[in-house]
Amino acid sequence: MKDRVALAAAVVVLTGMLLLTLAPLFLMFYTSVKPTGTLFQRAREVLVADFEVGNLNSIGGPITSEAAGTSQVQTAFDPLEPVARQNRFMRVQYLKGDSAARWATRVNQDMRKFSTVELKVRGEAGGESFTIDLVDTKGRQTSLSIQQFLRGGLKNTWETVRIPMEAFNLSLLSPNLPERQAEELSISFVEGSGAICLDDIRLVFREWTLNNYWDVLISGPFGRYAMNSAGIALAVTFGNLLFSTMVGYAFARWEFPMKKLMFFMIIGSIAIPPQVLMVPVFILMKQIGWLNSYLALIVPNLVAPFNIFLMRQYISKLPLSVEEAARIDGASEFQIFTRVIVPLAQPALAVVGINTFMGSWNTFLYPFLLTNTVEMRTLPVGLALYKSLHEVDWVHLMAGSAITALPVIIVFLCFQRYIIEGLTRGSTVG
């Protein structure tokens, strides 16, 4: 009974730890596919206008009407002044003559984020008709007739019209930009005269979107950040695979003066926090003229003490008989190293390569310290500085974080068996 209770408690604790570990990852991916919002909040809609706040709409944009030539448009609130617990709407009286007649309000939104345009509307006599326009800053617009959704025009009772965003040709808006930015939402009167009443105009967000990832990928700096991170991580990984294996092999098989002292110093350097070395490394890079260069981000990291220790411990467990057989066959030390040691040490090399790549890809401290231009930033530094002047753009920040995390997650999932094998096999080889 006690054993079962202990096992159940262990399972509960481990499950809780696993959930706590994975929760930030799930939260990151969940936020990255929101059209907008924060880490813990999800916006459902943008209420463009409910006409309770005078001549401004609900998001602070002006409400205007335009008419030219013989056309006329007049607007009025009903009631004229806001009344507590009483709905207030706008009445639009129009006469369509020989020129444009329209009612408009500012929205300034990326239409890709929304699934639906909703508005409550009724006609004064019934049968009235108009078009709904989305207009960008250059005056380009995409339009739909209300008759596509209300056969015969408006009724003289309130109706909620829901127009799917896919019905608009959004490619006409901001064609040179990835966003489909609409500066205005307007109603254009087609013919005749009449009066309509408007209330509760809103834009409903999509449930989820992948546009955030596309926006991040095509933003100028992030492409350069990704190239920098990939190039630096690959160079550092190759350097550690080569030099850590060579040094580990020397400590495991060769005898030379002060071997034990040097190995003890390498082991001791593992305990030194990287923050302690910030100032000396910065001064050294400045003195040799490497600040804000790839050399400063690659050369100091080409070999890591822990990787030397790991390779030395693994190689020391390999059977000497294989190397002696190679020497009898006339192999040189270089041939023994490349054709015997390296193939046998593949599990440990996998551990070194994967850990080094993930560490270099995610490192923030030294790239932030040793670079000072946009062109030299890596992804972690770019993400840390990815915010607007007044607030953090959470959905795009989390999309950038997901893009940064995905290569590491893929590498780990593909090579996790090598990591486990490399960490456990060294104790059984020999």
Residue type at position 426: G
Rounded mean pLDDT, 402-411: 85
- Quick check: 426 pLDDT over 50? no
The rounded distance, in Å, linking the Cα atoms of 69 and 100 is: 8
* pLDDT for the residue 84: 77
Residue 51 is encoded by which pair of tokens?
A: 């006409």
Nearest Cα neighbor of 264 from 307, 303, 302, 309 is 309
Provide the 3-class DSSP secondary structure of residue 38.
Answer: coil
pTM of structure? 0.75
Domains and CATH numbers, the chain: 45-208 (2.60.120.430), 213-425 (1.10.3720.10)
pLDDT in tens, 22-46: 888 888 888 888 888 888 888 888 8
- Quick check: 177 pLDDT over 90? no
* pLDDT for the residue 21: 79
- Quick check: 173 pLDDT over 90? yes
Rounded mean pLDDT, 346-368: 90
Rounded mean pLDDT, 186-198: 88
Rounded mean pLDDT, 73-95: 85
Lowest mean pLDDT among 26-40, 56-70, 187-201, 271-285: 56-70
Instruction: Tell me which of 49 and 145 has the higher pLDDT.
Output: 145
CB 169 within 8 A of CB 103: no
pLDDT in tens, 230-280: 999 999 999 999 999 999 999 999 888 998 899 999 988 888 888 888 889
| Strand partners of residue 93 | 74, 195
Helix H or strand E segment including 90 = strand 89-95
Rounded mean pLDDT, 168-191: 89
pLDDT in tens, 218-228: 776 888 898 99
Rounded mean pLDDT, 324-346: 88
Residue labelled with tokens 């508005």: 119
Tell me what percent of the residues of the chain surpass a pLDDT of 70.
Answer: 94
* pLDDT for the residue 246: 94
CB 226 within 8 A of CB 405: no
